[in-house]
């Protein structure tokens, strides 16, 4: 674990603020940077500790942001609940597998996930026609198998890499139900929180969470999220450009993470 110094404390807050700022500004993708920031900027080691600490901080951040979406009535609770419940089992299994893999190799594989995230952010999102998606007795036969199957697979991936998985949950919810993008983004926070806390609990049992760093990271994330959210309302028309720029940052960080993991640098 990390020896606390004024420098590492500031770096923890700064890293959290970067993740929170990006989440507030473009509505996703920021949590994918949490692991490399904690591992290489803050200097948290071993690598599994960076993964466990990231999972806790991202989950808490998602829970904090869920409140605003819930008040706006954008969360599809039943669909999100089934998706998250199935995914928790996957996240538990994934986190067990993740702890069995060498830390450096796991972070090297993580760079592949980062590249996939960057590509997904570059794709033009199509606006889905607004329609009401509800999990009822009439729709259960069609929606339940999809929600449970895709939720389980998404949770497995999130648990294995110790990520919130929002960039996987959003398209997963849309694929399973056909709900509008706005509702999928809001509802995805239920899964992000559930998967993250499940992964974090498993890592905590092995002593692989740095609690002071997690607290500082979360504090920075809350402040950064508030700033990013306010700024996004002023530059909403340029959000597509921001997503492209952020995807570029992800590609650069992914290249560095891969090079570091495989001993190139």
The model's pLDDT over 122-141, given as tens digits with 9 standing for 90+, comes to 765 554 444 556 666 666 66
Could you tell me if residue 225 is inside a domain?
yes
pLDDT value, residue 142: 72
The better pLDDT of the pair 90, 226 is held by: 90
- 200 part of a folded domain: yes
Which three-class secondary structure state does DSSP give residue 139? helix
Name the CA radius of gyration of the chain, rounded: 18
Give the tens place of pLDDT for each residue, 4-38: 788 999 999 999 998 888 766 665 566 678 888 99
User: Mean pLDDT over residues 190-197, rounded?
Assistant: 90
In a domain, 128, yes or no: yes
Q: Is residue 69 part of a domain?
A: yes
Torsional class of 129: left (φ above 0), alpha (ψ -120 to 50), beta (otherwise):
beta
How many domains does one find in the chain? Answer: 1
Q: Does residue 1 lie in a domain region?
A: no
Is residue 192 within 8 Å of residue 169, measured between CB atoms?
yes
Contacts of 250 (CB under 8 A, 6+ apart): 29, 32, 33, 114, 115, 117, 118, 121
Query: Is the backbone of residue 76 left (phi > 0), alpha (psi -120 to 50) or beta?
Result: beta
User: pTM of the predicted model, to two decimals?
Assistant: 0.77
The residue segments making up the domain with residue 34 are: 7-261
């Amino acid at each position: 674990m990390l020896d606390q110094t004024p420098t590492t404390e500031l770096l923890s807050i700064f890293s959290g603020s970067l993740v929170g700022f990006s989440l507030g500004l473009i509505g996703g993708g920021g949590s994918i940077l949490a692991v490399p920031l904690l591992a290489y900027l803050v200097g948290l080691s071993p690598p599994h500790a960076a993964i466990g600490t990231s999972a806790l901080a991202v989950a808490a951040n998602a829970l904090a942001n869920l409140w605003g979406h819930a008040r706006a009535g954008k969360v599809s609770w039943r669909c999100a609940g089934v998706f998250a419940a199935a995914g928790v089992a996957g996240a538990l299994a994934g986190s067990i597998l993740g702890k069995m893999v060498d830390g450096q190799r796991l972070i090297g594989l993580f760079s592949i996930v980062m590249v996939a995230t960057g590509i997904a952010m570059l794709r033009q999102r199509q606006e889905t026609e607004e329609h009401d998606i509800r999990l009822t007795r009439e729709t259960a036969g069609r929606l339940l198998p999809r929600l449970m199957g895709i939720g389980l697979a998404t949770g497995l991936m999130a648990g294995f890499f110790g990520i919130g998985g929002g960039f996987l949950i959003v398209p997963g919810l849309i694929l399973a139900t056909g709900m509008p993008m706005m509702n999928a983004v809001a509802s995805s926070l239920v899964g992000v929180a559930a998967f993250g806390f499940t992964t974090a609990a498993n890592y905590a049992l092995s002593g692989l969470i740095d609690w002071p760093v997690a607290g500082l990271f979360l504090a920075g994330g809350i402040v950064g999220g508030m700033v990013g959210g306010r700024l996004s309302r002023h530059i909403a028309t340029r959000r597509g450009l921001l997503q492209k720029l952020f995807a570029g940052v992800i590609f650069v960080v992914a290249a560095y993470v891969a090079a570091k993991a495989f001993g190139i640098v």
